[in-house]
């Protein structure tokens, strides 16, 4: 039952929310067409386009604060995680749709974390690439810190795998090539993502892959980059499935850590589950550190041997044994794109998205091999770079709920192996954190 009982109370809260202009509010107060029942009144305003369903639900619950952040009005909640809550927003004057990430309260209350986060967000706004979600603005309003980003009308790869299971080799390779293009652009400019996973990669209905939170994760994870922090931090607990070996031990990681995580992500796209799925968090960490690199051929017999080798190299335990740049990764994956790497354009049919409205179309430069380059060596981007690569393939049924998922085998791991891994971890200095977790 709504907290707000009648139309008068509802319109009073609407006035407090600043969601509508004064002239609109005056018209609503004087019209005889609105029902006196608050719920019916709200529903009519939704039908008239005055309010969104999210806004009306909040107002009916008596919540009227936080709808307006600077020039942006919040239309709907579209995501929530350890870093904060993401809303669909709209610029009040320009009417441009954006994604607004509001920093979580526990992070916003830490002054040092806020300063570091805002500083890095401003730096990340300089990243302009068709495969990276662009940061537009960083602001503060009524004690709330927020980031305004490009709105992507799409779904995460995690959602796709959950709904439809593994991708084909061609689709997965093209997705990884796009992600590599965005990461290469960022790496050349001194950014390491540190949290690459299916949840942080989105795909639009026209097949463009977007890297989320580029440049925004280090400040959030800085206080929990050691093993104990990783085990106990809610903000990055889900990352354990894709955490590089070195990231579990230290905060000073480089681009090769992203390569490991991208490899683990590619593994998930091709098998439907993470590399060390189905075991407790501390055992996953030990597997990332010392376990055998899982081979795609052990889970799918239809995949090319060469692709298995590429993913295994991306997930090598030692950074020096991996590809050294994501440009090298992209080159290695090209044989499994639809046309052998001549292009990577993919178009998703309109039916794959719940909302058929066109997504933002960005542009991106061609991938470059940046081995040995620093950010100062990177030439300026052209004014009109070539179009971003897109994913090719038939995605007509990709998001059809209820379709059967492919069955991928998940061989069990003997308990004796886990015992050996734990002993090995203790022997090299990880024992304190792991023992505390196991015994606690």
Catalytically annotated residues = 195
- In angstroms, the CA 13 to CA 41 distance is 13
- In angstroms, the CA 91 to CA 130 distance is 22
| Count of residues making up the chain | 440
Strands 97-103 and 144-150: antiparallel
- In angstroms, the CA 330 to CA 341 distance is 9
Helices 415-425 & 281-290 angle (0-180, nearest 10):
70
Task: Of 3, 6, 75, give the one whose Cα is nearest residue 40.
Answer: 6
- In angstroms, the CA 127 to CA 132 distance is 8
The answer to whether residues 324 and 371 touch, using CB atoms and an 8 Å cutoff, is yes
Q: Which helix (H) or strand (E) holds 145?
A: strand 144-150
164 is in an annotated binding site: no
Contact residues for 420 (Cβ-Cβ < 8 A; gap 6+): none
Tokens of 432: 């304190």
Q: What angle do CA 230, 236, 242 make, to 5 degrees?
A: 85
- In angstroms, the CA 423 to CA 342 distance is 49
What is the Cα 188 distance to its own chain's centre? Answer: 21
CA distance to 3, 14, 60, 64, per residue, from 9 (Å): 10, 9, 9, 12
The answer to whether residues 203 and 348 touch, using CB atoms and an 8 Å cutoff, is yes
The answer to whether residues 118 and 135 touch, using CB atoms and an 8 Å cutoff, is no
- In angstroms, the CA 380 to CA 173 distance is 28
Q: Which helix (H) or strand (E) holds 97?
A: strand 97-103
- In angstroms, the CA 179 to CA 264 distance is 13
Strand arrangement of the beta sheet that strand 154-156 belongs to = 154-156, 201-204, 209-211
Numbered residues of the known binding site: 101
Numbered residues of the known binding site for ATP: 101
């Amino acid at each position: 039952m709504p907290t707000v009982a009648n139309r008068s109370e509802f319109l009073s809260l609407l006035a407090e929310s600043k969601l509508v202009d004064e002239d609109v509010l005056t018209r609503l107060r004087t019209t005889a067409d609105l029902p006196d029942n608050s719920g019916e009144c709200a529903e009519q305003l939704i039908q008239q386009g005055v309010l969104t369903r999210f806004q009306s639900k909040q107002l009916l619950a008596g919540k009227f604060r936080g709808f307006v952040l600077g020039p942006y009005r919040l239309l709907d909640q579209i995501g929530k995680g350890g870093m904060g809550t993401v809303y669909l927003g709209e610029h009040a004057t320009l009417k441009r749709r954006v994604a607004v990430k509001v920093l979580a309260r526990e992070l916003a209350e830490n002054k040092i974390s806020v300063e570091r986060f805002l500083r890095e967000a401003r730096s990340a706004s300089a990243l302009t690439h068709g495969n990276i979600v662009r940061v537009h603005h960083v602001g503060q309003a009524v004690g709330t810190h927020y980031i305004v980003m490009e709105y992507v009308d799409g779904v995460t790869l995690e959602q796709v795998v959950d709904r439809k299971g593994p991708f084909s080799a061609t689709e997965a390779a093209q997705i990884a090539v796009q992600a590599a293009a965005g990461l290469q652009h960022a790496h050349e400019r001194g950014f390491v993502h540190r949290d690459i996973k299916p949840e942080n990669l989105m795909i639009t209905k026209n097949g463009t892959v977007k890297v989320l939170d580029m440049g925004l994760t280090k400040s959030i994870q800085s206080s929990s980059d050691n093993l104990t922090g990783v085990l106990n931090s809610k903000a990055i607990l889900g990352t354990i499935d894709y955490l590089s070996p070195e990231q579990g031990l230290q905060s000073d990681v480089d681009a090769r850590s992203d390569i490991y995580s991208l490899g683990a992500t590619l593994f998930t796209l091709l098998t439907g589950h993470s590399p060390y799925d189905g075991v407790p968090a501390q055992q996953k960490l030990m597997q990332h550190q010392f376990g055998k690199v899982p081979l795609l051929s052990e889970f799918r017999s239809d995949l090319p041997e060469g692709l298995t080798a590429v993913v295994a190299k991306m997930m090598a335990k030692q950074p020096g044994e991996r590809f050294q740049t994501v440009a090298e990764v992209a080159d290695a994956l090209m044989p499994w794109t639809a046309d052998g790497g001549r292009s990577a354009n993919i178009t998703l049919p309109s039916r794959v998205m719940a909302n058929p409205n066109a997504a933002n179309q960005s542009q991106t430069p061609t991938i470059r091999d940046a081995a040995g380059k620093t950010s100062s060596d990177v030439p300026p981007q052209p004014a009109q770079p070539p179009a971003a690569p897109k994913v090719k393939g038939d995605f007509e049924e990709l998001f059809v709920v209820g379709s059967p998922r492919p069955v991928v085998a998940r061989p069990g791991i003997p308990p004796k192996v886990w015992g050996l891994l734990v002993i090995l971890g203790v022997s090299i200095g990880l024992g304190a954190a792991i023992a505390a977790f196991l015994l606690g």
